[in-house]
Amino acid sequence: MGLIETFAEKAIASGAYQPLDKVYVANKVRALVGDQDGDVQAGRSIAEQLVDLSIENGKIEDGQTEREILNEQLFDLLTPTPSAVNARFWQEYQRSPEAATGWFYQLCTENDYVKVAAIKKNVEFTRQVKDGNELEITINLSKPEKDPKAIAAAAHDTAKKYPQCALCIENEGYLGRLGQAARSNHRVIRMMIGGKGWGFQYSPYAYFHEHCIFLDLQHEPMKIDQQTLVNLVEIEKTLPHYFVGSNADLPIVGGSMLAHEHYQGGRHTFPMMKAPIKQELTFKDYPQVKAGIVDWPMSDIRLETTDQLALINLGTHIMKTWNDYSDPALSIVATGQDGTRHHTVTPIMHREGETFVLDLVLRDNNTSDEYPLGIFHPHEKLWHIKKENIGLIEVMGRAILPARLKVELEEVKKFWLNEDNQIAPAHLPWAQEVAARRDIMSANVEAVLEEELAQVFSDVLEDAGVFKRTDEGDAGWQRFIKQL
């Protein structure tokens, strides 16, 4: 049996078609790859072999974009229509939310929308740092890093294009083109959140297990306000086994897609969620809410309660207070001289049984001559490891580090072992400082690298914290709490 017939049977086995459709599906494949069939080769995916066959048959050119577009077209044949996917999701939901997401996630991995093979290339490890917190480090080898200035510019991009951005619902089933990802096999679950239509999908290049995205069906800019907290509560009520959070809605401290309202979530317990409270707080109007300052490098207030309305109202009070709060002694300034807003929060919510847990991480995007990329942004001495924005996932203690480090850090290890190396000049001061205080040998060099990399990430988070873990920072916390 050749490649085309094998793939046709695979499409029938997926449930997207019936056995009677076999000839029809085979001809759909031929339309994409050509009539000349090929033999199945062991050890390689059928789709990958069909893409090669299409090049041999002259149907497409041998380029990355052409390959990706055809790959997604082929996997689209293994995927039910959006209406069928939505019907099945909500049917599974009647059994349990976990059953629904489990089915949908499996579909998105089997149809190659979630790039499992690429994700497996990422480097991951967990290490404890000097302050006692545990941090998760990943070197992202599956997706290119982004430039902070480009991210800020994209937030103001009003040029007409289709789809308007990578999150828009119009990506569902979109063929793709140069500079616009192929999405033929993409499916989005529709749901109502806060009285509006939203979509729920998985991230193609997941940063953690079942990494998902909730997206507004309208292309509107991100905004953090009381409605955000209402939406997060509704999502937690719908999918209580997932966390959900929003990137901040300002450049520098925000995420990479400020032009489209969206949240991220998934099935993962992040280090910040496990961090203890270092100072309990009491709000007399909200006795039913347990509150406190979290022992974490960034500045986080945690609220815990079963009372959803109290959580939303107190959270809104904290956000509004922070948005107007300044402490010039700590370079914390809420509004610029031109009226520009500089304060927002990164809100993150998860469930512990019936209790809703809301973390509000305070953010400030001011810049200065000394810190042109951000006063509360990774400072220059850390740029050799991390220069990009500190978004939602990293706020919670999971570093997304650039792919260049995989090669560069091998040279750092050679430097520490006094072997011939080509260490990057940017890493040299750090490598020398570590070598001066650590006894490094081949038996422990990997452990030293992981420990020191985790410590750099901890320093990155400290830079992004508005109230530092110093006497001055603690005093600043108390001034803000008094204002609350």
Strands (E), 121-276: 123-128, 134-139, 189-193, 196-202, 212-216, 243-245, 262-266
Mean pLDDT of 66-75: 95
Q: Based on the domain organization, do 238 and 368 belong to the same domain? A: yes
Contact in structure between 29 and 50 (CB atoms under 8 Å) = yes
Residue 375 lies in a domain: yes
Q: Based on the domain organization, do 371 and 286 belong to the same domain? A: yes
According to DSSP, the β-strands at 300-305 and 355-364 are: antiparallel
* 95-118 pLDDT per residue, tens: 999 999 999 999 999 999 999 988
Q: Based on the domain organization, do 15 and 149 belong to the same domain? A: no
**Residue 177 class from Cβ within 10 Å (0-12 exposed, 13-18 middle, 19+ buried)?**
exposed
More confident residue, 112 or 154: 112
Dist. CA 90–CA 196, nearest whole Å: 18
Q: For residue 51, give both structure tokens.
A: 């893409």
Mean pLDDT of 248-256: 89
- If pLDDT is split at 50, 70 and 90, which confidence band does 152 have? low
The DSSP result for 452-475, as a single string, is HHHHHHHHHHHHH-SS-SSHHHHH
Residue 354 lies in a domain: yes
Number of domains composing the chain: 3
What is the structure's pLDDT at 153?
55
Residue 410 lies in a domain: no
Dist. CA 208–CA 478, nearest whole Å: 35
Helix H or strand E encompassing 348: strand 343-352
Q: Based on the domain organization, do 89 and 203 belong to the same domain? A: no
Q: Based on the domain organization, do 151 and 38 belong to the same domain? A: no
* 38-63 pLDDT per residue, tens: 999 998 999 999 999 999 999 999 98
Contact in structure between 114 and 204 (CB atoms under 8 Å) = yes
Residue 138 has pLDDT above 80, yes or no: yes
Average pLDDT, the chain: 94
What is the structure's pLDDT at 180?
85
* 336-351 pLDDT per residue, tens: 999 999 999 999 999 9
Mean pLDDT of 295-299: 97
- If pLDDT is split at 50, 70 and 90, which confidence band does 150 have? very low
For the question of whether the overall pTM of this predicted structure is more than 0.85, the answer is yes
Q: Based on the domain organization, do 36 and 90 belong to the same domain? A: no
What is the structure's pLDDT at 384?
97
Q: Based on the domain organization, do 69 and 104 belong to the same domain? A: no
Residue 292 lies in a domain: yes
Contact in structure between 406 and 449 (CB atoms under 8 Å) = no
What is the structure's pLDDT at 101?
98
Q: Based on the domain organization, do 74 and 91 belong to the same domain? A: no
Dist. CA 319–CA 317, nearest whole Å: 6
Q: Based on the domain organization, do 271 and 162 belong to the same domain? A: yes
Residue 452 lies in a domain: no
What is the structure's pLDDT at 56?
95
Residue 18 has pLDDT above 50, yes or no: yes
Helix H or strand E encompassing 292: strand 290-294
Domain that holds residue 94: 83-111
Q: Based on the domain organization, do 95 and 156 belong to the same domain? A: no
Q: Based on the domain organization, do 126 and 101 belong to the same domain? A: no
What is the structure's pLDDT at 425?
97
Mean pLDDT of 240-267: 94
Contact in structure between 390 and 464 (CB atoms under 8 Å) = yes
Residue 206 lies in a domain: yes
Residue 250 gets which letter from DSSP?
S
* 157-188 pLDDT per residue, tens: 556 789 999 999 999 999 998 878 899 999 99
What is the structure's pLDDT at 143?
67
What is the structure's pLDDT at 148?
59
Dist. CA 29–CA 209, nearest whole Å: 32
Long-range contacts of 51-60 (CB under 8 A, 24+ apart): 53/3, 57/33, 58/34, 59/32, 59/33, 59/34
What is the identity of the amino acid at 130?
K
Q: For residue 347, give both structure tokens.
A: 């809100």
Residue 323 lies in a domain: yes
Residue 482 has a CB neighbour count (10 Å cut-off) of: 7
Q: Based on the domain organization, do 55 and 87 belong to the same domain? A: no
